[in-house]
Amino acid sequence: MQPLTAKELEYIVDSMSNEDLLIKQCTAAAASVQNPQLARIALEMAGRHQTHYNYLLNTLQQHQQLAPTQPM
């Protein structure tokens, strides 16, 4: 595996921000709806977005292992 480019890293960070926002929105929706089925669906969606977020985080952590260290 090759190190990620700066543009790829920016895309991943932006995607993580988007996933975090979606997690919060789905969680808030689940808490505010009266219908238990809709609440369950919203929580499932929040879980999917959490999975996506974790995958992106894992990708960044793998990149840290591959990235060359910068001299100070």
pLDDT tens column, 21-64 = 999 999 999 999 999 999 999 999 999 999 999 999 999 999 88
**How is residue 2 annotated by DSSP?**
P
Are 43 and 30 in contact by the 8 Å Cβ rule? The answer is yes
**pTM, entire model:** 0.85
Are 65 and 1 in contact by the 8 Å Cβ rule? The answer is no
Phi, psi of 67 (to 5 degrees): -65, 140
- List the domain boundaries for the chain: 6-65
